[in-house]
Amino acid sequence: MNRLLPWRVAAWALGIIPLVFAVKWTVQSRLGPNPVEFLEHYTGDWTLRLLLTTLGMTPLRMLTRLTEPIRVRRILGLWTFAFLCLHFSMYLIFDLSFSVAQLAEDLVKRTYITLGFTAWLMLLSLAVTSTTAWQRRLKRRWITLHQLIYPAAILGAIHYLWLVKADTREPLIYLAILLILLAFRLPWSQLVSRWRLRTSAILKPCDPPD
Amino acid sequence: MLIKVAHPHPIKSSEITPEAVHTDRRRFLRQMGLVTAGAALAGYGRTEPTTAEANLAPLNVVRKSEMAGGENVTAYADITHYNNFYEFGSAKEDPARNAGRLRTRPWSVVVDGECEAPGRIDIDELLKPQALEERIYRHRCVEAWSMVAPWIGLPLSDLLKRFKPTSKAKYVAFTTLYDPKQMPETARGVLSWPYREGLRIDEAMHPLAFLSVGLYGRVLPNQDGAPLRLTLPWKYGFKSIKSIVRIQFTEWQPETTWNQLAPQEYGFYSNVNPAVDHPRWSQAQERRLGELFKRKTLMFNGYPEVASLYSRMDLRSQF
Per-residue pLDDT at A92:
95
Of the residues B148, B293, B295, B296, the best mutation for testing chain A's interface (the one with the most A CB atoms within 10 Å of its CB) is B293
The highest-confidence range among A86-90, B19-23, B30-34, by mean pLDDT, is A86-90
**Interface contact A29-B45, CB threshold 8 A:** yes
Report the alpha-carbon distance of residue B1 to residue B4 in Å, rounded. Answer: 10
Tens digits of residue pLDDT in B66-111: 999 999 999 999 999 999 999 999 999 999 999 999 999 999 999 9
Per-residue pLDDT at A106:
92
Per-residue pLDDT at A18:
97
Per-residue pLDDT at B46:
40
The pLDDT of A94-119, averaged and rounded, is: 94
B74 with B288: CB under 8 angstroms?
Answer: yes
Overall residue count recorded for chain A in this entry:
210
Distance of CA B268 to the CA centre of its chain: 17
Nearest to A33 among B35, B289, B293 (CB): B289
Q: Over 50: is that where the pLDDT of A117 sits?
A: yes
**Amino acid at the residue A16:** I
B177 with B194: CB under 8 angstroms?
Answer: yes
Domain count of the fold of chain A: 1
Q: Is the peptide bond before B194 cis (omega within 30 degrees of 0)?
A: yes
Tens digits of residue pLDDT in A144-195: 999 999 999 999 999 999 988 888 999 999 999 999 999 988 877 667 777 7
Backbone angles phi, psi at B23, to 5 degrees: -60, -45
**Amino acid at the residue A72:** V
B286: left (phi over 0), alpha (psi -120 to 50) or beta: beta
| Closest residue on chain B to A92 (Cα) | B293
- Residues of B within 8 A of A105 (CB-CB) are 282
DSSP A94: I
Nearest to A27 among B40, B287, B289 (CB): B40
In a domain, A169, yes or no: yes
Tens digits of residue pLDDT in A26-84: 999 999 999 999 999 999 999 999 999 999 999 999 899 999 999 999 999 999 999 99
In a domain, A171, yes or no: yes
DSSP B120-149: EEEHHHHHTTPPPEEEEEEEE-TTSEEEEE
Among residues B302, B263, B283, B217, which one has the least CA distance to residue B6?
A: B302
Residue B31: pLDDT band (50, 70, 90) is very low
- Residues of B within 8 A of A38 (CB-CB) are none
- Residues of A within 8 A of B282 (CB-CB) are 105-106, 109-110
In a domain, A202, yes or no: no
Q: Tell whether A2 lies on the interface with B, counting CB pairs under 8 A.
A: no
DSSP B67-130: -STTPPPPPHHHHHSS---GGG-SSTTHHHHHGGG---SS-EEEEEESBSS-EEEEHHHHHTTP
Report the alpha-carbon distance of residue B285 to residue B264 in Å, rounded. Answer: 20
Q: Which residues contact A88 (CB under 8 A, 6 or more apart)?
A: A116, A117, A120
ipTM: 0.80
- Residues of B within 8 A of A35 (CB-CB) are 41-43, 292
**Interface contact A166-B191, CB threshold 8 A:** yes
Report the alpha-carbon distance of residue A160 to residue A123 in Å, rounded. Answer: 17
Tens digits of residue pLDDT in B234-253: 999 999 999 999 999 999 99
DSSP A120: H
Task: Name the pairing type of β-strands B210-215 and B218-219.
Answer: antiparallel
In a domain, A206, yes or no: no
Report the alpha-carbon distance of residue B146 to residue B295 in Å, rounded. Answer: 10
In a domain, A28, yes or no: yes
Per-residue pLDDT at B39:
41
Tens digits of residue pLDDT in B183-233: 999 998 899 999 999 999 999 999 999 999 999 999 999 999 999 999 999
Domain containing A81 equals 5-185
Per-residue pLDDT at B88:
96
B178 with B193: CB under 8 angstroms?
Answer: yes
| Closest residue on chain A to B38 (Cα) | A27
B146 with B152: CB under 8 angstroms?
Answer: no
Per-residue pLDDT at B17:
58
In a domain, A195, yes or no: no
Domains located in chain B, CATH noted = 13-310 (3.90.420.10)
Residue B32: pLDDT band (50, 70, 90) is very low
Per the DSSP assignment, residues forming a β-bridge with B65 are: B135
- Residues of B within 8 A of A37 (CB-CB) are 145, 287
Of the residues B90, B140, B236, B260, the best mutation for testing chain A's interface (the one with the most A CB atoms within 10 Å of its CB) is B90
**Interface contact B290-A165, CB threshold 8 A:** no
% of chain A with per-residue pLDDT over 90: 80
B242 with B225: CB under 8 angstroms?
Answer: yes
Report the alpha-carbon distance of residue A99 to residue A94 in Å, rounded. Answer: 10
Per-residue pLDDT at B3:
58
DSSP B205: T
- Residues of A within 8 A of B77 (CB-CB) are 33
The pLDDT of B280-292, averaged and rounded, is: 94
Nearest to A34 among B82, B281, B293 (CB): B82
Per-residue pLDDT at A186:
83
CA distances from A92 to A104, B206, B285 (A): 12, 40, 14
| Collapsed DSSP state (helix, strand, coil) of residue B31 | helix
